[in-house]
Amino acid sequence: MTPTGSRPHAPARPYVPRQREAGPPAALVRPEHVDATIGLHPGGLTWRRAFPGTPAQIPGARYFTRYLLAGSSHQDDAELIVAELATNALRHTSSGHTQGTFIVEIIQAVTATTLAVYDCGWGGSPRFTPRHRVDADHGRGLAIVAALADETGFEGDDTVGHRVWATIHVRSTP
């Protein structure tokens, strides 16, 4: 029963605006269109992200890499390379100290992807040759990077920090 002089109200219905038609799923984006987009920028596309210098940030660096290289034939290798380079920066430089940071850089060109990690310095120079036994618990990270990448290297020094990088060349599929 309603009070005198009032009308019963219809139940409230939320207003939902009409949605735009969804575009094609990412899986339908043709590789040549991705290559054309990358080719628009001399030297390829470059992404950088800074992370706090704690081991808890390594999964974030991996995710950053996986997200940016989604659908790439070398996505898994790139993710592992970034994780190894970031871990190396935390263990062997001041990036892993209080207030330390590391930066992940990904440069994607049509013919290659370069992955780099910048550290805060005050550590030894990176060595990409195996220094430890294959079954050792530590010391194999840069050897793994060298095995997965087509080229590796570093720039910088203890004072300004290092840029440690690895390049994977894109193989054309038959």
Q: Give me the pLDDT at residue 44, please.
A: 80
User: Taking 70 as the threshold, does the pLDDT of residue 133 lie above it?
Assistant: no
Question: Average pLDDT for residues 129-157, to the nearest whole number?
Answer: 79
CA angle 68, 81, 39 (to 5 degrees): 40
User: Taking 80 as the threshold, does the pLDDT of residue 85 lie above it?
Assistant: yes
Question: Locate tokens 């100290």: which residue?
Answer: 97
User: Taking 60 as the threshold, does the pLDDT of residue 53 lie above it?
Assistant: yes
CA distance linking residue 157 with residue 159, whole number of Å: 6
User: Taking 90 as the threshold, does the pLDDT of residue 75 lie above it?
Assistant: yes
Q: Give me the pLDDT at residue 74, please.
A: 93
Question: Locate tokens 């081991």: which residue?
Answer: 55
Could you tell me which residue, 101 or 7, shows the higher pLDDT? 101
Per DSSP, what are the bridge partners of residue 49?
Answer: 104
High-pLDDT (> 70) share of the chain, %: 67
Residue 73 near residue 170, CB atoms below 8 Å: yes
Could you tell me which residue, 121 or 14, shows the higher pLDDT? 121
Q: Give me the pLDDT at residue 7, please.
A: 60
Q: How many helices (H) and strands (E) does the chain have?
A: 4, 5
Q: Give me the pLDDT at residue 172, please.
A: 63
147 phi/psi in degrees, rounded to 5: -70, -35
User: Taking 90 as the threshold, does the pLDDT of residue 149 lie above it?
Assistant: yes
Q: Give me the pLDDT at residue 14, please.
A: 56
Q: Give me the pLDDT at residue 43, please.
A: 73
Alpha helical stretches, state H, the chain: 31-39, 58-68, 75-92, 141-148
Q: Give me the pLDDT at residue 138, please.
A: 63
Q: Give me the pLDDT at residue 45, please.
A: 87
Encode pLDDT of 7-24 as tens digits.
665 665 555 555 555 554
